């Protein structure tokens, strides 16, 4: 959907900040995002923009598709009292030199990713570009999966995650999750035969060895293999030993999920592994029109831009896997505070990120830089 430049509407810095505070004050853990999503719908409607919740709960506010601004509505669980307080010297963001004395918003999601979400909503209204707030990013990415299945490809995508006001994220590792299950006959522990728990740990030790890297290999270029949950013991009827092991592997752009899965299963002799649908890695070029627009906007508003590669995974991986258009990830906040008990965001940094997003969106729409 292409709209005219007259669809731009001014959003004051105070109103943008109030949206951020309202969203952070509205709990939105994964699978319980509706209240926060409705706050976003009301925000868009108050500025004359059409907005609604789709079948899975995503906030849809279509407009000019020169660029789609999108971030996730959900947060991880955890209550952090929401308050705004003056910053002290220890609260300074690394990429902002003049932070001292500026207000800081504390609360779950202020960094990951309600800060980027609110900044994008304000910039979308200011510039008349398309916006989607997706659900479930912290769990199954069901919102992003629904979006790429149901929505046509935009001209460009800016995904919202914390990068700091000067950071432009171009790459993420992919993600593969699996569950190993094994069963063995029960018997006296004096017997030498391995039981199901030993089979599980033996398999996983082999997986870790297969992906072992030397210390000189950058983390972004490695497969990181992590067990995340294990359950095992004598079955209820006492006749067998059972073991279940949940694992996660991060995939660098040099590999794909299939090759990683094959390596992980190469040493599998006993037991079975069921794999969830993988999320592919992504590495975007720094020379796309979107990346160039960000470099210009960051220099105009903040300072020198930084190009980033993240060792985690985001919804941008899914968008890049389905849409053949340029994209980056951007948003205010220090990603070291993701999911942390002291999650907080400088409101001045938030203001600057809105200005950067406004500059990028205006450029991609064909307006003046």
Instruction: Write out the catalytic residue numbers.
Output: 74, 137
**Residue 339 annotated as binding?**
yes
Q: Which of 157, 71, 74, 147 has the alpha carbon at shortest distance from 116?
A: 71
Tell me 365's DSSP state: T
SS3 191: coil
**Residue 91 annotated as binding?**
no
Cα distance between residue 351 and residue 105, in whole Å: 12
Under 8 Å between Cβ of 135 and 73: yes
- Show the DSSP H helices in 168-265 as ranges: 196-210, 257-265
**Residue 93 annotated as binding?**
no
**Residue 161 annotated as binding?**
yes
**Residue 146 annotated as binding?**
no
Cα distance between residue 268 and residue 178, in whole Å: 13
Cα distance between residue 144 and residue 75, in whole Å: 15
Phi, psi (rounded to 5 degrees) for 159: -90, 140
Q: Which of 310, 314, 304, 357 has the alpha carbon at shortest distance from 336?
A: 310
Binding-site residue positions for Zn(2+):
72, 112, 138, 161, 339
């Amino acid at each position: 959907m292409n709209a005219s430049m007259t669809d731009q509407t001014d959003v004051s810095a105070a109103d943008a900040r109030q949206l951020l505070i309202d969203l952070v004050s509205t709990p939105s853990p994964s699978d319980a995002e509706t209240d926060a999503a409705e706050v976003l719908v009301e925000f868009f409607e108050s500025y004359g923009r059409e907005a609604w919740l789709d079948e899975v709960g995503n906030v849809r506010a279509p407009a000019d598709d020169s660029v789609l601004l999108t971030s996730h509505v959900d947060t991880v669980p955890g209550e952090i009292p929401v308050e705004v307080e003056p910053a002290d010297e220890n609260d300074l963001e690394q990429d902002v030199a003049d932070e001292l004395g500026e207000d800081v918003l504390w609360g779950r999601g202020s960094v990951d990713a309600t800060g980027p979400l609110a900044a994008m909503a304000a910039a979308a209204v200011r510039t008349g570009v398309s916006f989607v707030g997706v659900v479930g990013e912290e769990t199954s990415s069901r919102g992003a999966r629904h979006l790429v299945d149901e929505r046509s490809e935009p001209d460009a995508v800016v995904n919202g995650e914390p990068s700091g006001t000067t950071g432009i994220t171009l790459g993420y590792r992919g993600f593969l999750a699996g569950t190993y299950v094994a069963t063995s006959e029960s018997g006296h522990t004096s017997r030498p035969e391995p039981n199901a728990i030993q089979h599980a740990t033996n398999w996983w030790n082999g997986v870790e060895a297969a992906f072992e890297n030397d210390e000189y290999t950058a983390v972004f270029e490695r497969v990181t293999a992590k067990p995340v949950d294990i359950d095992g013991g004598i079955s209820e009827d006492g006749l067998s030993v059972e073991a279940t092991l949940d694992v996660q592997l991060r995939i660098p752009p040099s590999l794909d999920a299939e090759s990683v899965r094959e390596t992980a299963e190469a040493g599998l002799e006993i037991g079975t592994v069921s794999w969830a649908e993988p999320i592919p890695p992504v590495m975007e070029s720094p020379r796309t029109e979107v990346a160039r627009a960000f470099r210009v906007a960051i220099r105009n508003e903040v300072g020198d831009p930084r190009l980033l590669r993240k060792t985690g995974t985001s919804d941008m991986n899914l968008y890049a896997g389905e849409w053949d258009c340029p994209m980056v990830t951007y948003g205010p906040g220090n990603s070291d505070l993701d999911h942390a008990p002291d999650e907080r965001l400088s409101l001045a940094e938030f203001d600057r990120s809105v200005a950067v997003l406004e500059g990028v969106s205006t450029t991609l729409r064909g307006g003046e830089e």
